[in-house]
Amino acid sequence: MKKAAIALVVASVFGMTACQQQNADPLAVTEVTLDTEQQKQAYAYGASVGSFVEKQLAENKSLEIDLDNALVVKGFIAAMQGKSQFDATALHQLNSDFDKVVKEARLVQAEKNTQKGIDWLAENAKKDGVTVTDSGLQYQVLVEAEGDKPVAEDKVRVHYRGTLLDGTEFDSSYSRGEPAEFPLNRVIPGWTEGVQLMNVGSKFKFFIPSELAYGPRSTGKIPGNSALIFEVELLDIIGKPATN
């Protein structure tokens, strides 16, 4: 489902009558006029809810759970009008059952990701320029430099881009338009180890096994037990983090 479609449907609930809602295509996208601050706030509120729902539906689809988008919207509109076909008890049970389905699907996906990561990294380790450390971390030097190297207790400034093995980008300081700063001992183990190998001014590519990343935990666009790829530029070492 397109984010705009969900957002517009959600926002339309605030301004449409029940009759209009019943006659309209729940997935139709039309331009709306937003003249007042209150109208903009209503639309933004709906867009926020829609964005959340869109992300949940996308995650479910990645788990091979494909919900009917039109029914999702119909259920939302019905509930907004107090006309849901299920009472609170039934809704709670249905959602609880669905949570179990999602949890099981995540476990299955995580098992597949474990083997996928092992196989992919085994092949990647054979490539020219790829070094494998004792922990299983793999790295490739893209740009060499002669600056200082940080230690785990240092705070560093970096630019980076993170992707899954299929190239899906899940995070990027480049996209945000500003570098990231963090203490090296407060990130995933693959980063803590890897960035300490870098000189300021260098750029490395890291291939991180799941056990040195987020392990079985699913986070954002990263499914459980995913091996990850990061391109990292070490811009600066900015000293030790403040202690309380």
Catalytic residue (choose from 148, 170, 182, 236):
170
Q: Is 236 a catalytic residue?
A: no
Establish whether 204 is a catalytic residue: no
Query: Exactly one of 214, 222, 229, 237 is catalytic; which is it?
Result: 214
C-beta pairs of 115-121 under 8 Å, 24+ apart in sequence: 116/165, 116/227, 117/165, 117/209, 117/210, 117/225, 117/226, 117/227, 118/209, 120/165, 120/227, 121/207, 121/209, 121/227
Catalytic residue among 14, 86, 182, 188: 188
Check if 230 is active-site.
yes
The active-site residue out of 160, 204, 206, 207 is 160
Of these residues, 148, 171, 182, 236, which one is catalytic? 171
Pair 194, 204: CB distance under 8 Å? yes
Active-site residue, 86 included: no
Assess whether 188 carries a catalytic annotation.
yes
Torsion of CA 191, 194, 196, 199, to 10 degrees: -120
- For residue 171, indicate whether it is catalytic: yes
Q: Active-site residues: which are they?
A: 160, 170-171, 188, 214, 230
